[in-house]
């Protein structure tokens, strides 16, 4: 099916649900993104800063760009002028840098805390305790140019739907706890970004408010050679 047809199908599935669809366009071309854009999709997610900046510069300005991949502190400045949501905040240091760069751009940047829910070594994110420590830190009250609007998580890459369900359930429960403890009076704290092509149905059942879907819209990704040569830990 075409990109437009895939999108239409997915949107039909999501209609009447309160779930934001983020079209994950990493490795995809300008033309492919434009096809989705012309089919009505306005929110796109990328996981590399350089690729995100290039696409932002070349594509229509009413696109909302989300950063969904690991973010290095020294790269924040490149996306601070335009990014609409950063899904991958995993340290206080990073949050402080986002605040600093947002201030320079005279804006407030919305962020999600990325929470580690998978039973894999390789995924980035905060443990439950680390997230709570971050929110308890004194410093956080001085950060006026970031707004934490929820959490994000990536489930284990497994064929076992029960495990995925449990991981998403944990994230949802953790979100509710944070809401009670830290954001009781903040209606903006409402997002749970969970679910990708392979597991978004389970994620929605478990209360996801944002799904990040790439291959089900754009087809399989081919990893560019320059990225295979890089150390994945150094990516971005
Ligand atoms: C690539 C990516 C996605 C989308 O993955 P698909 O399986 O293609 O839907 C979602 N979230 C993150 C963080 C990603 O890096």
Mean pLDDT value of segment 31-52? 97
For the chain, the structural domain boundaries read: 3-235
Side-chain half-sphere exposure of 82, counting CA atoms within 13 A = 18
Task: Report the pLDDT value the prediction gives residue 133, as an integer from 0 to 100.
Answer: 97
63 DSSP assignment: P
CA-proximal residue: ligand 1, atom 6 (nearest): 214
What is the band of 225 on the pLDDT scale with cuts at 50, 70, 90?
Answer: low
Looking at the predicted structure, is the pLDDT value of residue 231 above 50?
no
> Model's pTM, two decimal places?
0.94
* Closest atom of ligand 1 to CA, residue 22: 10
Task: Report the pLDDT value the prediction gives residue 221, as an integer from 0 to 100.
Answer: 84
Q: Where are the alpha helices (DSSP H) in 59-199?
A: 76-79, 92-104, 128-136, 161-182
CA of 82 to the centre of ligand 1 (A): 21
Mean pLDDT value of segment 40-51? 97
Query: β-pairing, 43-46 with 64-67?
Result: parallel
CA of 62 to the centre of ligand 1 (A): 22
pLDDT, tens only, 3-22:
999 999 999 999 999 999 99
Quick one: fold of 3-235?
TIM Barrel (3.20.20)
Burial 72-105 (b: 16+ CB within 10 A, else e): eeebbeebbebbebbbbbbbbebbbbbbbbbbee
* Pocket lining for ligand 1, CB < 6 angstroms: 24, 26, 47, 68-69, 154, 196-198, 212-216
Helix, strand, coil fractions of the chain, as percent rounded to 5 = 45, 15, 40
pLDDT, tens only, 113-163:
999 999 887 668 999 999 999 999 999 989 999 999 999 999 999 999 999
């Amino acid at each position: 099916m075409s990109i437009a047809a895939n999108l239409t199908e997915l949107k039909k599935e999501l209609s009447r649900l309160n779930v934001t669809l983020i079209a994950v366009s990493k490795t995809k071309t300008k033309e492919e993104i434009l096809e989705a854009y012309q089919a009505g999709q306005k929110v796109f997610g990328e996981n590399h800063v350089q690729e995100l900046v290039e696409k932002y510069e070349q594509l229509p300005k009413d696109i909302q760009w989300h950063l969904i991949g690991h973010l290095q502190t020294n790269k924040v400045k490149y996306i601070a002028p335009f990014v609409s949501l950063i899904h991958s905040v995993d340290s206080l240091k990073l949050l402080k840098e986002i605040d600093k760069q947002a201030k320079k751009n005279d804006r407030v940047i919305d962020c999600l805390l990325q929470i580690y829910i998978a039973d894999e070594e390789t995924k980035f994110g905060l443990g439950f305790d680390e997230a709570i420590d971050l929110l308890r830190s004194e410093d956080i009250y001085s950060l006026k140019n970031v707004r934490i609007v929820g959490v994000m998580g990536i489930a284990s890459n497994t064929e076992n739907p029960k495990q995925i369900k449990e991981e998403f359930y944990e994230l949802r429960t953790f979100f509710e706890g944070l809401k009670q403890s830290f954001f009781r009076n903040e209606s903006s704290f409402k997002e749970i970004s969970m679910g990708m092509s392979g597991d978004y149905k389970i994620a929605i059942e478990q209360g996801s408010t944002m799904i990040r879907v790439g291959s089900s819209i754009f087809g399989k990704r081919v990893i560019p050679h320059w990225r295979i040569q890089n150390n994945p830990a150094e990516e971005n």
